[in-house]
Amino acid sequence: MKNHAALIGTVINRQTETYGVKDAILYALAVGVGADAVDPKQLPYVYEEPALQTLPTLALVIAYPGFWMRDPQYGFTWQQVLHAEEALEIHEPLPPSGTVSGETIIEDVVDRGADKGCFVYLKKELRSVDGKTLYATVRSNTLARADGGFGGKSQARPAPPAPPERAPDQICDLTTNFNQALLYRLCGDMNPLHADPAVATGAGFARPILHGRCTLGVAMHAILKSCCDYDARRMKTLNVRFSSPVLPGETLRTEIWNEDGIAYFRTSVLERNVVVLNNGSARVAPRG
Backbone torsions φ then ψ of 75, nearest 5 degrees? 75, 25
Catalytic site includes residue 209: yes
DSSP state of 36: S
**Which listed residue (209, 211, 223, 280) is catalytic?**
209
Quote the CA–CA distance of 200 and 48 in Å, as a whole number. Answer: 36
Catalytic site includes residue 256: no
Catalytic site includes residue 280: no
**Which listed residue (148, 188, 189, 221) is catalytic?**
189
Name the CA radius of gyration of the chain, rounded: 18
**Which listed residue (32, 111, 188, 194) is catalytic?**
194
**Which listed residue (102, 117, 188, 212) is catalytic?**
212
Cis peptide before 40 (omega within 30 of 0): no
Quote the CA–CA distance of 19 and 54 in Å, as a whole number. Answer: 12
Catalytic site includes residue 90: no
Backbone torsions φ then ψ of 129, nearest 5 degrees? -60, -35
What is the bridge-based pairing of β-strands 170-175 and 134-144? Answer: unpaired
Amino acid at position 139, single letter: R
Residues with a known catalytic role: 189, 194, 209, 212
